[in-house]
Structure 1
């Protein structure tokens, strides 16, 4: 065999990785991209200027390693989250995916299991498998909600080392009541991770699992700056947990995993959080209007507390997805069969989506 003939199948990769495909959303250059749940509003010139100044200051010390523990950033994140948190109870990494990976490295591994309720975030089982942890897929109700008693029963049956909950859930947008999270916490023998990547988009009055942290030391609440903060390019995820959990993550984190520039960008974003989060209300209104419009077209739509909407049902969803793409609108073919997901964009982008949908329907 020549080097040019070598394929992935010829490499001695782990058996449990053979036949799998990597995570990825289509990256297609079209006028309207509504497939990756990004915040469509770019940072203001003032924020960009502030960030440029911070980078200029930090650039003079790029020959030195960054703050290994990101102490100042963690203090800023704790201040943003509130709930009596301080830097010792907050951790940050390169996107929430690295946060999840570190959790699995510390509490999962060979011979251990993780349980999640599907459909849910597709990276949960991917990262679980990547850390040699066995994935157990639990079920949701027909409306994508999670029955507290059934969820607790699944935990009691499988006794997983880690339980993943998502609120709001991706790709369905469904938020979890605190009662459901509390029931799972009572039943779980190990760690419970509540993924709140879209928490800022939840309806007013929707409680956060952060309020459960004082009485549940094995609870971890993860967040990200990629969504509501409109900082997807920064790659900054973080979590809140008991200080002992943070100590466990220090055992597996790579040294100097957060660059000086990443830490600077995240701190600038937190200083400008009033501006950045000022787009959330507009996106909520656009989300609710999109749900109403889609239902007006006779489609089935999942209730959403996120910045995206899951809708269907299409016996040939690929044909609908392709029809939208032909009209310059890219959405996501993801989730259960017969369903599609559209991220919420600007008013102009959503008008283009509606026009394209009318053409397809």
Structure 2
């Protein structure tokens, strides 16, 4: 009997990646995928709609495959996080930071090369390695989820990875990397790439700088971002990076032709024109995050310090039971990270009130 379909051996039996995606009827309070709970204003929606309508009139033609206008706008936005500025040739974008990461590994990793990270961390990283036939090596974080530089340096020197993937803030823990750690690891990497994934960078606490400040000093540093989180644009799928222009040119070799549609480019440009509005609730979400951390600790839970728009908390003897008890009360959180921990995205004050009430009831029920 034939083995059909003839899937690659390492993919057989695997399930596609994805968090539970339930309807609002099933889970009225959805706090599991770190979305911004505040949608765009009617003015922003109107600008996006008008921009898409204009793009629609050109859909018989291929889009600008180098998306020069968008790269310039992203460079201007990123440049606000560094005194050195960012130029368009340093910027690349794709359909979500997921595709950005995949393109990085396609260009700079692959067969005979290694990618490395430190757990607990973003669960998609090993899948990028798998999909590009890159050997995957994972180290560990400390008890408080910080990074031990001695351990990291030893692992890098032992395996000489082509790419190291480090989120800052880390997902699912929310832990940010200090600048001296990033600089030290760039030096240890030699010609290998250190990718600092700042998907949640806009939510970092006051005084925590962005890694884009370090780009002039380290040619092997790559900083990735997304418009899915702070920009409230998860449905548009736009991720981007900043790096040495030579690194960007390498990615251009592996990207598919016209990978960013004219519609995607139009939506992203319109959103960037409304930057002040779309990022206007970031301070509110930071405050709600800090209040959530404080409340969880008051309840006796262990909580990771967070620079993101989510909080990792525990430790539960049976986290699955707690997760289900929350869902039974209409609140969906994420069962992710080390055993015994759960992650809650920061929502509106009303959503967080529902979360607190549901968790109180769930833990009383399980105690």
TM-score normalized with structure 2 length: 0.95
DSSP 3-state at the match of 1:115: strand
| Structure 2 residue aligned with 1:158 | 159
For residues 55 and 183 of structure 1, the distance between their equivalents in structure 2, rounded to whole angstroms, comes to 44
Which digits, 9 at most, give the CA deviation of each residue in 1:231-261, with x for residues without a partner?
0001000000001001100100000000001
For residues 53 and 184 of structure 2, the distance between their equivalents in structure 1, rounded to whole angstroms, comes to 49
| Structure 1 residue aligned with 2:75 | 78
Which digits, 9 at most, give the CA deviation of each residue in 1:54-98, with x for residues without a partner?
111111111000110010000000000013111100000000000
| Structure 1 residue aligned with 2:358 | 356
Matching of residue 330 in structure 1 with residue 332 in structure 2: yes
DSSP 3-state at the match of 1:337: coil
| Residue among 41, 44, 52 paired with 2:38 | 41
More deviation, 21-30/314-323: 21-30
Structure 2 unaligned spans of 5+: none
| Structure 1 residue aligned with 2:65 | 68
For residues 16 and 29 of structure 2, the distance between their equivalents in structure 1, rounded to whole angstroms, comes to 25
Give the C-alpha shift of residue 187 in structure 1.
0.7
| Structure 1 residue aligned with 2:182 | 181
Which digits, 9 at most, give the CA deviation of each residue in 1:147-201, with x for residues without a partner?
2222122111111111111100000000000111111111113111110000000
DSSP 3-state at the match of 1:239: strand
For residues 184 and 17 of structure 2, the distance between their equivalents in structure 1, rounded to whole angstroms, comes to 31
Give the alignment of 1:1-361 within 5 angstroms: 10-29=4-23, 30-82=27-79, 83=82, 84-189=85-190, 190-361=192-363
For residues 92 and 202 of structure 1, the distance between their equivalents in structure 2, rounded to whole angstroms, comes to 22
More deviation, 153-162/297-306: 153-162
Which digits, 9 at most, give the CA deviation of each residue in 1:117-153, with x for residues without a partner?
1110111111111110011001100110002222122
Give the C-alpha shift of residue 225 in structure 1.
0.2
More deviation, 153-162/135-144: 153-162
For residues 21 and 174 of structure 1, the distance between their equivalents in structure 2, rounded to whole angstroms, comes to 28
For residues 165 and 251 of structure 1, the distance between their equivalents in structure 2, rounded to whole angstroms, comes to 24
For residues 167 and 292 of structure 1, the distance between their equivalents in structure 2, rounded to whole angstroms, comes to 22
For residues 335 and 152 of structure 1, the distance between their equivalents in structure 2, rounded to whole angstroms, comes to 23
More deviation, 18-27/202-211: 18-27
TM-score normalized with structure 1 length: 0.97
Q: CA contact under 8 A between 1:41 and 1:279: conserved in structure 2?
A: yes
DSSP 3-state at the match of 1:163: strand
DSSP 3-state at the match of 1:73: helix
Count, aligned residues? 355
More deviation, 67-76/150-159: 150-159
Structure 1 unaligned spans of 5+: none
Q: Once superposed, which parts of structure 1, at least 4 consecutive aligned residues long, lie more than 6 Å away?
A: none
